């Protein structure tokens, strides 16, 4: 259920997008001042099926009930597209299995 506090927590950034740069600067983290800010669709539903496969996926279940996922990816060369794929894999696996994933990239 949407509440007024929920709306306020994100609408402040819609009303004043420059708040990012000002806030980060106060903490000594550079954040470029934008010339233009665009609103993008908030619906993240995927319409087209997209094949995504990991090289190896293992689930470790401990005696104490603690579980972990180990996602192993083998890389023989640099691929600038991989970090976004790995971020997708990790977030998808966490949402699907409700278990923290660990990514191991073997180079």
pTM, two decimals, is: 0.67
The residue among 70 and 17 whose pLDDT is bigger is: 70
DSSP 27: T
Beta strands in the chain (DSSP E): 56-61, 67-74, 101-106
Per the listing, tokens 């660990």 go with 102
- Write down the domain spans for the chain: 1-42, 56-106
Give the residue among 49, 69, 50, 73 at the shortest CA–CA distance from 59. Answer: 69
Dist CA 56 CA 70 (whole Å): 8
CB-based contact 72:104 (threshold 8 Å) = yes
The model's pLDDT over 31-78, given as tens digits with 9 standing for 90+, comes to 776 667 777 888 888 888 888 899 999 999 988 888 999 999 999 999
């Amino acid at each position: 259920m949407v509440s007024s506090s929920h709306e306020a927590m994100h609408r402040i950034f819609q009303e004043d997008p420059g708040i990012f740069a000002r806030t980060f600067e106060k903490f000594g983290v550079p954040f470029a001042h934008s010339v233009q800010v665009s609103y993008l669709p908030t619906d993240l539903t995927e319409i087209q099926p997209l094949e995504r496969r990991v090289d190896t996926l293992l689930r470790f279940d401990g005696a104490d009930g603690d579980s972990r996922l180990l996602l192993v990816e083998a890389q023989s060369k640099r691929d600038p597209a991989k970090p976004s794929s790995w971020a997708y894999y990790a977030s998808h696996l966490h949402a699907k299995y409700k278990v923290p994933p660990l990514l191991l990239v073997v180079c």
